[in-house]
Chains A and B, each alone.
Chain A
């Protein structure tokens, strides 16, 4: 008995972690389970197991159009925000210049602004210039909120670099440009990749800003929100679960690749 309670005492934190992860994954497991529901129209009650939803993920009207839009917007927003954000991160992380603290503040502000304010203010700007909400306004909105996160992520990576590596390159007669291309950039690259991944997942999962600026165009989160009242088709669960496993696979492959590189 005493032994048991001591084991508990020693592993209390580990037990806690298991409970916490269970809590995090309950809705994910629920979504996955109900992707196999033979549900008909509304996916509320368990009616029986079927593979049909996974065999026909585009079976529900609109769902794949919405998914396609989300992916397109996500990719464009990721490309633009990663480029713009990385440039800013290098400016702040590698240079001293006038207005540096103002720049920092301007980067921080969009993160300290609630999404609904960002979305509403952008919409009112588009309305003033008589630009109809839709695909491109949504892309712009996504670049806006992803950019600050890219800056912060890439800047952290730049700050953690050992300056001696670049000095060594210079000592070996590399000029500034060569040093940047052959030493600095490869070292910062994992940070940029992480930032791009973050930007894509933020964009792909965004609902509030999208709802304000997308007009009649649907995205995957918007599709779920609007169909919530009528009941969400099981195909949405299929796509949500598939995205989950796809992302896990990407992370695992990424880990394996970096480990291999470290070994060799």
Chain B
């Protein structure tokens, strides 16, 4: 009898040990190490890339002041891309859930399908479509919507557009999952109670789909804020984001402390924003 009982208590822990051990070694330990690296300073007279532990917390201040613009841009671009993706994805998810009928599964597959062509290939495709040799710019110019000297690529417009596009499936899927769960009878009931279409949406559909909105916006905003690929391919030096700075500090300048300080600041800022947002949105049960 005791044997059975003991088995029951220890099962979850046995299941957890390998995965949690992995997370401890390859997630928590590196973060701790990152925090440590962020307070190092160059060894006096040493080679480039040689640093010693001096607990210099002013690294954070220096890194932030030096890269204020990139920092602001990361959050601004990510915010705009998230709002745009929400605006594009919500009606799409709604259509799939309520009007999809027997094509529901096909449409869901179509949302994910672009994933399988590498996202880098698709981003570069956008660069070429919107670039000088593409068909969009000459068309807009001949229609005189944009002037002769205006370009679409190498601009913040292109970077935000690229991020919106790339993270759209991450927004659509959670939205679909929570809209699909809504009982259509609640919408009918709202109509029976003389609510018009807009009121029904605002008072019934939207509140019921809030978990999807929260999950979708997080899954878009977090990777967007840390992204540097869209800015590297579709942007210009004037649209650099924090990710671009971290990447070049690591690989080109070998400035590990600044790169670590920036990474840590980015992570903490995102965690604070996410916590506040999730509290405000009122959906504690996320995962």
Contact = CB atoms under 8 A, between A and B. Distances in A.
Given A87-B18, A122-B30, A140-B26, A16 B91 contact: yes
Find the residue from A24, A116, A236 having the highest chain B CB count within 10 A.
Answer: A116
Interface stretch (A57-65, A105-113, A164-172, A182-190): A105-113
Nearest to A156: B177
A38 interface: no
Interface residues on A, range: 35 or more
B15 A205 contact: no
Interface in B107-161: 107, 109-111, 113-126, 128-129, 133
B110 A114 contact: no
Given A208-B228, A224-B124, A228-B233, A95 B11 contact: yes
Interface string A71-115: 000000000000011011011101101000001101111111111
A183 B26 CA distance: 34
A120 B259 contact: yes
B287 A13 contact: no
Contact of B128 (A30, A87, A112): A30
A106 B153 CA distance: 39
Interface residues on B, range: 35 or more
B139 to A, nearest CB: 14
B29 interface: yes
Nearest to B177: A156
A232 interface: yes
B129 to A, nearest CB: 6
Contacts of A13: 91, 94-95, 99
Contact of A124 (B11, B34, B129, B219): B34
B83 interface: no
A236 B27 CA distance: 33
Contact of B121 (A16, A208, A224): A224
A17 B96 contact: yes
Interface of A: 13-14, 16-17, 20-21, 23-28, 30-32, 34, 44-45, 84-85, 87-88, 90-92, 94-95, 97, 103-104, 106-118, 120-125, 128, 140-141, 143-144, 147, 151-152, 155, 201, 205, 207-208, 211-212, 220-221, 224-225, 228, 232, 236-237, 240-241, 243-244, 246-248, 251, 255
6 contacts: A13-B99, A31-B117, A88-B15, A125-B33, A221-B120, A240-B118
